[in-house]
Amino acid sequence: MPELRDEPVEPEVVSSELVYSGHVWDVRSETVRFGDGEITRQFVDHPGAAAVVAIDDEERVVLIQQYRHPIRHRDWEIPAGLLDVAGEPPIETARRELAEEVDLVAESLEPLVSIFTTPGGNDEIIHVFLARGLSAAPSAYEREDEEADMRLERVPLTEVIDGVLAGRFRNGILATGVLAAAERLRRS
């Protein structure tokens, strides 16, 4: 049996309309030829993002908690940010977000996993990296909006995994990232 994998498909786009242009992302409506007919779908057009599972020398994960309006929660997350700088590779976005969100730099930063967050509703892809050898960034960043009251904690990796499995941490990027990091570390 061949190895299973996601397969890209490029159906003919019959029409594409910008329904809403937003500050961070847009909403599009597209009609494509698919099979014997046409289908129309609306979706969030997203620039993508990079996220970082930063694990210190004591096997603690750097977590941030911030307010997320759509879910009306302060949820626990890993540092992450949009791929919103033209030409910036995802690994550099991850490095930048680690410094901007938690004032850290990493001695090593390696690709961990890339995921489509909600393939039925948006085209967002998140590239998650594993950061090790953490130290303080040369300068602290000024935080605004949701980041202004951000809480930062270093939590043992096993406790974060317990929190994911118990449903206390429901952020999908955090869950995928820490589970992948734990497996990567177990295999090394």
pLDDT in tens, 138-151: 887 776 666 668 89
Determine which one of 147, 153, 159, 183 is catalytic: 147
With respect to residue 3, please indicate whether it lies within any of the assigned structural domains. Answer: no
Higher pLDDT, 19 or 147: 19
117-126 per-position pLDDT tens digit: 999 999 999 9
* Statement to judge: residues 30 and 53 lie in one domain: no
In a domain, 152, yes or no: yes
Say if residue 32 is in the same domain as residue 61. Answer: no
Residue 149 has phi, psi (to 5 degrees) of -115, 30
Take residue 137 and report the two structure tokens written for it.
């960034």
* Catalytic residue status for 147: yes
Per-residue pLDDT at 146: 65
Q: Does residue 156 belong to any structural domain of this protein?
A: yes
* 39 and 78, same domain (yes or no): no
Please tell me the distance from the alpha carbon of residue 64 to that of residue 81, in angstroms, as a whole number. 13
**57 and 150 part of one domain:** yes
| Same domain for 161 and 82 | yes
- The whole-chain average pLDDT of the chain stands at 94
pLDDT in tens, 31-69: 999 999 999 999 999 999 999 999 999 999 999 999 998
Based on the domain organization, do 99 and 128 belong to the same domain? yes
Q: What number is the average pLDDT over the span 105-112? A: 98
| 7 occurs within a structural domain | no
Q: Name the CA dihedral angle for 129, 187, 159, 53, rounded to a multiple of 10 degrees.
A: -10
Name, in order, each residue with C-beta under 8 angstroms of 78's C-beta and a sequence gap of 6 or more. 51, 52, 53, 54, 61, 62, 63, 64, 128, 173, 174, 177, 178
**Between helices 157-166 and 172-187, what is the axis angle to 10°?**
130
Q: Is there a domain that residue 54 lies in?
A: yes
Euclidean distance between CA atoms 70 and 158, whole angstroms? 29
Query: Based on the domain organization, do 73 and 104 belong to the same domain?
Result: yes
pLDDT at 16 over 80: yes
User: Residue 39: CB partners within 8 Å, gap ≥ 6?
Assistant: 31, 32
pLDDT tens sequence across 68-86? 988 999 999 999 999 999 9
Domain of residue 100, residue span:
49-187
Q: Rounded to whole angstroms, how far apart are CA atoms 25 and 61?
A: 29
Q: Domains in the chain: how many in total?
A: 2
> Cα(54)–Cα(62) distance, rounded to whole angstroms?
6
Question: Do residue 39 and residue 132 come from a single domain?
Answer: no
Structure tokens at 122: 């948006």
Question: If we measure between CA atoms, which residue out of 118, 127, 102 comes closest to residue 50?
Answer: 127
